[in-house]
Amino acid sequence: MARAATTTDAFNAVAEPRRREILDALARGERSVTDLVEQLGVAQPVVSKHLRVLREVGLVQVRDEGRQRIYRLEPAPLREVYEWVRDYERLWTERFELLDAVLEDLKAQQAQPGRHGSQPAESQTTDKERES
């Protein structure tokens, strides 16, 4: 069975961790293939293969500068990915806010005098200590 093409859209292209590393590097500025190879610590053919995929989906642009090919990030195709993830970001934020509220309640309960867990560690005794 043939594999689905990874060059059809930005979602498929960014699904590969090495491509995301390349995008991260290019987000900090233009880079030559040689720079990317050195930065990522992988072989040049591997970097070139991933750059080809990123170029085909429009995530990177390339220009020739002498004997080097210089790549830069083209962020527009990432907008669709961002818009899709944005809804999940709201969900995560809401859940983290709820978790923060629960943690604050637990801290407040522990800080109240007479509540279990509010005594200093040295005054708490274990069941084993009480038996002896």
Shared-domain flag, residues 61 and 100: no
pLDDT tens-digit readout, 17-62: 999 999 999 999 999 999 999 999 999 999 999 999 999 999 999 9
Q: What is the CATH number for 24?
A: 1.10.10.10
Whether the model pTM is above 0.75: no
**Which CA distances in Å does 2 have to 16, 60, 89?**
18, 26, 34
Residue 2 pLDDT: 47
- Indicate whether 83 and 49 sit together in one domain: no
Residues 67 and 81 grouped into a single domain:
no
Does residue 32 contact residue 70 with C-beta atoms inside 8 Å?
Answer: yes
For residue 1, is it within any domain?
no
Task: Please report whether residue 69 resides in a domain.
Answer: yes
Determine, yes or no, domain membership for 125. Answer: no
Residues 28 and 83 in one domain: no
Query: 20 Cβ partners below 8 Å, 6+ apart?
Result: 14
Residue 26: per-residue pLDDT:
97
Maximum average pLDDT range among 78-82, 86-90, 116-120: 78-82
59 and 43, same structural domain? yes
pLDDT higher than 60, residue 7 = yes
The pLDDT, as a whole number, for residue 9 is 86
Residues 37 and 81 in one domain: no
What digits encode the pLDDT tens for the residues 59-84?
A: 999 999 999 999 999 999 999 899 98
Query: Does the pLDDT at position 116 exceed 60?
Result: no
Number of domains the chain is built from: 2
If asked whether residues 53 and 99 sit together in one domain, one would say no
Residue at 36 is within a domain:
yes
Residues 51 and 88 occupy one common structural domain: no
Residue 81, domain extent: 77-114
- pLDDT tier for residue 112 given thresholds of 50, 70 and 90: confident
Q: Are residues 48 and 14 part of one domain?
A: yes
Contact 57, 77 (CB under 8 A): yes
Does residue 42 share a domain with residue 17?
yes
